[in-house]
Amino acid sequence: MSIKETVKKDPQGVIARAYVFAEKTHRGQKRKSGEPYFNHPLATANILSSWRLDNATIAAGLLHDTVEDTDVTQDDIHKEFGGEIAFLVEGVTKLGTIKYRGAENKAENMRKMILALSRDLRVVFIKLADRLHNMRTLSALPPAKQKRIALETNDIYAPLAYRLGMQNVSGELQDLAFPYLHPKEYRWLLETTKEQYESRLAYLQKIKPEVEALLKKNGVAPLAIDFRAKRYSSLYKKLLRHDMDIGKIYDLVAMRIIVATVPECYAAMGIVHEQWPPLPGRIKDYIAMPKPNTYRSLHTTVIGPDQKIMEFQIRTKEMHEENEYGVAAHWLYKQKSDGKTNSPKTAAEDIAWVRQLQSWQEHFSGKQTESEEFMRTMKIDFFKERIFAITPRGDAIDLPAGSTPVDFAYHIHTDIGNACAGAKVNGAIVPLDHELRSGDLVEIITQKGKRPSETWLTFVKTAIARDRIRAAMREKNRLVRGAAAPTHAELKITVDDRVGILKDFSTIIARNHINILAFHAENTKGSRFSLNKIDIQSIDKPKIDKLILKLKKVDGVKEISYKLV
Ligand code: MN
């Protein structure tokens, strides 16, 4: 049901109220394309509804840009719609402050951060729906912005959707980003493959009745048979691995068979193989061994009618829904099922948070199926030991829990840490020992000539901050002694004067790689001894001692002493 239909059907419901509120708030605002701004949150909510998410999420989808783009405050949303929806809107608003600028090594961190900041998977769903609609309408933006958003979509949001099991969303995001990231390749692909796509599709359409009859004759009634055209973005990646030879891509268009049960999946594959010989090494059993993102299906490539190579994908309806909607589909199924549904067998050893998601899925598959239970499990709390705080530029700083603005400052740059005079968190001044939380927007106030304080050592959490503060303290102590600190040494040499003695001194000093700054000779009246003072450029005690030993051997030297000045 579309949002507009829902609004008509239940005008007092939360979706209708959010609709009216958002429409009114955005009234008069236009998108870059010239259309009313409200079209965007409405489209976002429609996407969320097509993913079968709950009413609070859909309402938050309608409201997701009100706090960022209008006079409406977080409090207004709270008063009007309650804590749950306000929490979801706030989450999406926070994610809006993060920007990705394309360092590949930062992408994984960024994906984790998005999950950590969201604290509830529904925030991620809203963000993905928001991004999906923005990508569908990206052509209206200026080119530089298009490129940045396409890159962020490709590197961050598409993989995130994929790991959440939302295969279809991930693929669409990548496809939408592709023409902006690789315009030349995209044009080439369109030209090269258009005919191929069409002829593959015509071929499959032709043999579809044959496949259907074959299955039925052997006792498997398919629920549906349709076609899956390979996406441009994934075709391009595959072509890169196959010498750009489109003839080697067998799954340009695949035939998809949907059946009722898992045994029927295997039965259908057997029937197909009996009729058309499979290509060796191309049978994939993602039912027994699901992909890390929980994708399940059987894939096989056969030599079909007219000796043409074609791919079959065979799965149950439940698997199909899960492959399309990921975690969201589980909710749908648990709502509908009578509890007898098999829990998904997942072999994910990918990364911690995917395992975590799967353990949630297994957790609620056996239990009662209320949305409460599901929503509780959507809470993300597996980053307890890390927090992600955001700079004013939108970069995320990954810190251990309990970190303070001083830790944050030192993680940006040593100079910022050293000159740190104060901090604002989410716009409000806080003490420097304030404990930061994930999603905090942190601004460090620096002051020229400011030095770190020793008391900082009592509250900083990170080794980096501690080390830098200590280094700065040492530096400071050295500077405090500054005025009295020696810069060179003065040698006092009492000699029995003779011709050439100064030359001997200077030769030895030079050989020890020490510069001479000045010479003074004083003749004491009535004495055959004279006092030479030599200023040398060194305060290194061992070095000076060594030099003195050598000078003492010079003929005529009676006594040598030195002091640092
Ligand atoms: Mn938006």
Confidence of residue 104 (pLDDT cuts 50, 70, 90): low
Could you tell me the two tokens for 367? 């239990």
Nearest alpha-carbon partner for 50 in 162, 153, 166 = 166
Lowest mean pLDDT among 64-73, 263-272, 289-298: 289-298
The answer to whether 98 touches 157, Cβ cutoff 8 Å, is no
Q: Which of 68, 195, 274, 362 is catalytic?
A: 68
Report how far Cα 65 is from the mean position of its chain's Cα atoms: 22
| Cα 490 versus chain centre, distance | 60
Domain boundary among 322, 341, 361: 322
**24 and 40 part of one domain:** yes
420, part of any domain: yes
Say yes or no to pLDDT of 487 above 70.
yes
- Catalytic one of 23, 69, 443, 535: 69
Q: What is the pLDDT of residue 343?
A: 31
The rounded distance, in Å, linking the Cα atoms of 214 and 218 is 6
In the reported structure, the alpha carbon of residue 96 is separated from the centroid of ligand 1 by a whole-number distance in angstroms of: 8
Average pLDDT, the chain: 83
With respect to residue 353, please indicate whether it lies within any of the assigned structural domains.
no
Q: Are residues 196 and 160 in the same domain?
A: no
CATH number of the domain enclosing 18: 1.10.3210.10
Instruction: Report how far ligand 1's centroid is from the alpha carbon of 297 (Å).
Output: 34
Asked, for residue 377, whether it belongs to a domain, the answer is no
Q: What is the DSSP string of 256-313?
A: EEEESSHHHHHHHHHHHHHHSPBPTT--EETTTS--TT----EEEEEE-GGG-EEEEE
Q: Encode pLDDT of 249-288 as tens digits.
A: 888 889 999 999 999 999 999 999 999 999 988 899 999 9
The yes-or-no verdict on residue 524 having pLDDT over 80 is: no
CA of 211 from ligand 1 middle (Å) equals 44
CATH number of the domain where residue 436 is located: 3.10.20.30
For residue 464, the model assigns a pLDDT of 86
Is residue 375 one of the residues assigned to a domain? Answer: no
Total count of domains within the chain: 4
User: Which run of H or E residues covers position 377?
Assistant: helix 371-377
Q: pLDDT-based confidence at 195, cuts 50/70/90?
A: confident
Is residue 495 within 8 A of residue 522, CB to CB? The reply is no
Q: What is the pLDDT of residue 36?
A: 94
Is the pLDDT higher at 322 or at 459?
459
Number of H helices, E strands in the chain: 24, 14
Ligand 1 centre from 29 Cα, in Å? Answer: 13
Residues 132 and 250 in one domain: no
Within-domain flag for 368: no
* CA–centroid distance, residue 79 to ligand 1 (Å): 22
Report the C-alpha gap between 376 and 360 in whole angstroms.
10
Enclosing H/E stretch for 84: helix 83-95
Give 312 Cα–ligand 1 centroid separation in angstroms. 38
Average of pLDDT values for 227-245?
86
Find the 59 Cα to ligand 1 centroid distance in Å: 13
Provide the pLDDT for residue 105.
56
β strands within 438-481, DSSP E: 442-446
Alpha helix segments (H runs only) across 155-231: 158-163, 167-181, 183-217
* CB-based burial label for 240 (10 Å; 0-12, 13-18, 19+): exposed
My answer on whether 125 and 222 are in the same domain is no
92 by Cβ neighbours in 10 Å (0-12 / 13-18 / 19+) ranks as buried
The pLDDT, as a whole number, for residue 237 is 85
408 is in which domain, residue-wise?
389-481
Q: Which of 32-46, 50-64, 322-336 has the lowest mean pLDDT?
A: 322-336
For residues 39 and 187, membership in a common domain is answered with: no
CATH code of the domain in which 544 resides: 3.30.70.260
Mean pLDDT of 451-474: 90
Residue (of 260, 254, 261, 364) closest to 310 by Cα position: 254
Considering 307, 322, 337, which residue would you say is the last residue of a domain? Answer: 322
Averaged pLDDT for residues 469-498: 79
| Statement to judge: residues 158 and 18 lie in one domain | yes
The answer on pLDDT for 128 being more than 70 is: yes
What is the distance in A from the centroid of ligand 1 to the CA of 401? Answer: 30
pLDDT digits (tens, 9 = 90+) for 148-180: 999 999 988 998 888 777 888 999 999 999 999
d(C-alpha 482, C-alpha 331), whole Å: 69
* Cα 164 to averaged position of ligand 1 atoms, centre (Å): 21
Closest alpha carbon to 408 in 441, 381, 453, 454:
441
User: How many Å lie between the centroid of ligand 1 and the Cα of residue 130?
Assistant: 5
Query: 235 and 244 in contact (C-beta within 8 Å)?
Result: no
- Phi, psi (degrees; rounded to nearest 5) at 54: -75, 170
168 or 378, higher pLDDT: 168
Domain boundary pick from 141, 176, 211: 176
Distance in Å, CA 64 to ligand 1 centroid: 6
Asked if residue 142 belongs to a domain, the reply is yes
Neighbours of 179 (CB within 10 A): 20
Residue 316, H or E segment: strand 309-316
Indicate whether 192 and 73 sit together in one domain. no
Highest mean pLDDT among 297-311, 350-364, 384-398, 499-513: 297-311
- Considering the domain architecture, whether residues 52 and 136 belong to the same structural domain is answered as yes
Q: Characterize the bridge pairing of strands 309-316 and 253-259.
A: parallel
CA of 41 to the centre of ligand 1 (A): 6
Determine, yes or no, domain membership for 384.
no
- Region of poorest pLDDT, from 96-105, 180-189, 327-336: 327-336
DSSP lists the bridge partners of residue 521 as: 532
69 is catalytic: yes
Distance CA 547, CA 565 (A): 17
Partnered with residue 313 across adjacent β-strands are 256, 299
Indicate whether 17 and 158 sit together in one domain: yes
Question: Exposed, middle or buried, 283 (CB in 10 Å: 0-12/13-18/19+)?
Answer: middle
Task: Compute the CA torsion angle 525, 529, 534, 538 (nearest 10 deg).
Answer: -140
Cα(128) to ligand 1 centroid in Å equals 10
Higher-confidence position of 322 and 93: 93
Q: Indicate if 399 and 505 belong to the same structural domain.
A: no
Which residues, 6 or more positions from 131, have their beta carbon under 8 angstroms from its beta carbon?
Answer: 153, 157, 173
Does the residue 333 lie in any domain? no
Stretch 308-336: mean pLDDT: 74
Bridge partners for 311 per DSSP: 254, 301
Which residue has better confidence, 314 or 334? Answer: 314
Q: What pLDDT score does 525 carry? A: 64
Q: 34-40 — which CB contacts under 8 Å span 24+ positions?
A: 34/140, 37/65, 37/69, 40/65, 40/130, 40/133, 40/134, 40/137
Tell me the CA–centroid distance for residue 40 and ligand 1, in Å. 7
Nearest CA to 211 out of 251, 254, 260 is that of 254
**Spatial CB neighbours of 466, under 8 Å, sequence gap ≥ 6:** 457, 460
Residue 68's alpha-carbon distances to 31, 74, 80, 191, 429, in angstroms, are 14, 9, 17, 42, 21
With 0.95 as the threshold, say if the pTM is over it: no
Joined tokens for residue 223: 């629920």
Q: Is 68 assigned a catalytic role?
A: yes
Residue 535 near residue 517, CB atoms below 8 Å: yes
Neighbours of ion ligand 1 (CB under 5 A): 65, 130
* pLDDT tens for each residue of 411-454: 989 999 999 999 999 889 999 999 998 778 899 999 988 889 98
**Cβ–Cβ < 8 Å for 511, 473:** no
Residues 125 and 160 in one domain: yes
CATH of the domain at 300: 3.30.460.10
CA distance 384 to 353: 12
Residue 428 φ then ψ, to 5°: -110, 140
CA of 132 from ligand 1 middle (Å) equals: 10
Residues 493 and 537 in one domain: yes
Q: What is the pLDDT of residue 385?
A: 67
